[in-house]
Amino acid sequence: MEQLNNNGQILEIKDLKVVYKTDLEVVEAVNGISFKIDKGKTCGLVGETGAGKTTTALSILGLLPERTGKVLDGEIIFEGRNILELPDEELRHIRGNAISMVFQDPMSALNPVYTIGDQIGEAIKIHNPELSKEDIEKRVEDMLQLVGIVPSRKVEYPHQFSGGMKQRVVIAIALCCEPDLLIADEPTTALDVTIQAQVLAMIADLRDRLGTSMLMITHDLGIVAKTCDDVCIMYAGKIVEAGTVEDIFSGNRHHPYTEGLFGSIPNLRVKSARLKPISGLMPDPTDLPVGCEFSPRCEKCMEICRTQKPDIYTEGTHKIYCHLYSGNVNNNGETVPEEEKTDE
C-alpha cells in the first residue's frame, strides 16, 4: 500500500484550484493552494467557515459534488501518484483504504437503523472482501477496543451512544482499514468541551500508535497547538501563512489574518478588557477582491494591497502571503520600484 515518494511525503498538493459552477455564478472556493504532509506528521488546515478547507478535503477524496464541483487546475500527489488522473475504480480503492475521513457531525455520519458493529463491519468487508465473517467480527471488536469502547456494545444502535462515543465509532470506521492518511474535518466541533479533549487525546494516541499521517481541519488554534506539526492558515481559498507549529505560534512575523485569529482567543497571560475580533466578513467567493483577498478587513491595508496580489515571503519553513513582507512596499507603505527591490 505504502509507496512514498523520495521526499517521504505522503501527500503533496500543488497549485490546486477548485470552483463550484452553476448556470448563474462561479464560486472560487480554492484558489491555487500548495502544501505537503510528511509521513507520520499532522498538518493543520486552519481558517473560518468558507475558507475552502472542506473543499480541499473533498478534492483529495474525489468527493466534490459531481454537477457543480470542478478541479480547474493543479495536482494532488498521494503516495507518488496524481490522484486527479486516476480512474474512478482506483480512486474508490484508495478512498477508505489508504485515505479516510472523519466528518464533522457524528450524529449524521452514522446510520440510525444499523448497529455500530454492523457499520464498522461493513466498512471492513467492503475493503477486505476476502475476510471471513469471524475475522470481520474480530476486527470490529479490535477497533472498538482501540477507540475505548467495550466490544460487547457492538450490538447497540447509534442512539444508545453519547455524542463523544458516536465520534469514537466514526473514528473506528475511518481507521478500520488502517489508512495511511486520515483527514479529520472539525472532528470535535459538535462535541462538548470535556469530550473534545478526550477525542483529541485519543486521535493523537492512535496517530502515534499506528503512524498515520493526518490532515486536521479546524478553526480552533488550541487544537492546532495540541495536535499539529505543520500549519496552513487559509483565507478565501488561499493559504495566507504556512509553517511549522513553532513558526505560527512563536514566529516574529505573521499575516494580519493570523494576528486577527490570535487576537480573537483569550490569553490568560495578557490582561485585556475585551477580545479583538476580526471585523467584517469573508469576501463573496463569486466576486473576490482584485488585490489581496484580506484587504477589505485588514487594518494594515495599503494602496498596493487593493490592486496587486502579494508575493510569498519565505523565511526557512515559514511562508507569508502579504505585501508587508514581500519587499513590494517600503516602511512608509509606498510601492518599491522593481529595480530597488531586495531579496528580503
Rg (CA), the chain: 22
Q: Per-residue x/- marks for ligand SF4, 227-266, CB under 6 A?
A: ----------------------------xx----------
Least distance to ligand SF4 from the beta carbon of 257, Å? 6
d(CA 198, CA 171): 13
Least distance to ligand SF4 from the beta carbon of 310, Å? 4
Interface with ligand SF4 (CB under 6 A), residue from 310, 313, 318, 319: 310
292 belongs to the binding site for ligand SF4 (CB under 6 A)? yes
d(CA 248, CA 319): 10
CA-to-CA separations, 260 to 147, 171, 277, in angstroms, rounded: 36, 32, 6
Q: 92: part of which helix (H) or strand (E)?
A: helix 88-97
Least distance to ligand SF4 from the beta carbon of 73, Å? 23
Given the rule CB under 6 A, which of 26-34, 147-155, 216-224, 298-306 is the region that contacts ligand SF4? Answer: 298-306
Given the rule CB under 6 A, which of 126-134, 174-182, 265-273, 290-298 is the region that contacts ligand SF4? Answer: 290-298
31 belongs to the binding site for ligand SF4 (CB under 6 A)? no
Q: For strand 238-244 and strand 181-185, is the pairing parallel, antiparallel, or unpaired?
A: unpaired
d(CA 55, CA 149): 32
Q: 91: part of which helix (H) or strand (E)?
A: helix 88-97
d(CA 194, CA 179): 27
Which cell goes with 28? 472560487
Given the rule CB under 6 A, which of 75-83, 241-249, 272-280, 320-328 is the region that contacts ligand SF4? Answer: 320-328
Count CB atoms within 10 A of the CB of residue 306.
Answer: 13
Q: In what order do the strands lie in the sheet with 26-38?
A: 26-38, 9-21, 69-78, 81-82
Interface with ligand SF4 (CB under 6 A), residue from 298, 313, 318, 319: 298
Interface with ligand SF4 (CB under 6 A), residue from 175, 176, 199, 322: 322
Interface with ligand SF4 (CB under 6 A), residue from 301, 311, 312, 336: 301
Interface with ligand SF4 (CB under 6 A), residue from 35, 161, 294, 313: 294
| Of residues 118 and 259, the one with the C-beta less far from ligand SF4 | 259
Least distance to ligand SF4 from the beta carbon of 291, Å? 7
**Of 327, 312, 324, nearest in space to 35 by CA:** 312
Helices (H), 214-335: 221-227, 245-250, 256-263, 303-307
336 belongs to the binding site for ligand SF4 (CB under 6 A)? no
Least distance to ligand SF4 from the beta carbon of 283, Å? 12
Interface with ligand SF4 (CB under 6 A), residue from 10, 302, 318, 319: 302
d(CA 311, CA 325): 9
Given the rule CB under 6 A, which of 92-100, 139-147, 269-277, 294-302 is the region that contacts ligand SF4? Answer: 294-302
d(CA 278, CA 156): 45
Binding site for ligand SF4 (CB under 6 A): 255-256, 292, 294-295, 298, 300-302, 305, 310, 322-324
